[in-house]
Amino acid sequence: MTVLIAYATKYGSTREVAEAIAATLRAQGLAVEVEPAAAVNSVEPYAAVVVGGALYTGRWHRDARRFLKRHRAALADRRLAVFAMGPRTLDDAEVSASREQPDHALAQVPELTPATAIFGGALDPSRMRFPFNHLPASDARDWDAIAAWAAEIADDFSAAPELV
């Protein structure tokens, strides 16, 4: 089984998480390819897909949303998992508020019912433009939680028979 991890990022934090998820899936014996969501032309070669995107000013990255819409028919026939990155802290209220945007994107493709996760985001103001370059730096990524979620989806992907 080959798994695609398609990520949408502006500053690279989501790519780092995609690579960490890929490492966990590979450790579980799965073949994995990691690509920017906008660069993926087809999901046909993959039995399972993970889509990740960052949240910017309360919206899930456009490339992640477009990926789901563009590949919706093929994704309906594959195992699918989705993650979003964004809350500056792992406070329950921030995580809950962050969940609204990927949930809204998934509501646009109701035939897809993926496993989902929200992870804390990272903010490096030195890489941003005004006014965001005045925000305090933060990194709320919980690498243990990311690895645990990746192990769960690896188990789910491996346990189910090939769909395609």
> What are the backbone angles phi and psi of residue 142, rounded to the nearest 5°?
-100, 95
CATH of the domain at 16: 3.40.50.360
String of DSSP letters for 13-44: HHHHHHHHHHHHHHHTT-EEEEEEGGG----T
**Mean pLDDT computed over every residue of the chain:** 88
Residues facing 114 on adjacent strands: none
Q: Tell whether 164 is covered by a domain.
A: no
pLDDT tens profile 107-140: 999 999 999 999 987 766 577 667 666 676 667 7
- Identify the CA nearest to 30 among candidates 142, 145, 157: 157
Which pairing describes strands 138-139 and 122-123: parallel, antiparallel, or unpaired? Answer: antiparallel
State the total domains in the chain: 1
The domain of 52 spans 2-159
Q: Tell me which H or E stretch contains 112.
A: none
pLDDT in tens, 73-113: 999 999 999 999 986 767 777 777 778 888 888 999 999 99
Q: What is the pLDDT of residue 92?
A: 77
Confirm whether 79 is domain-assigned.
yes
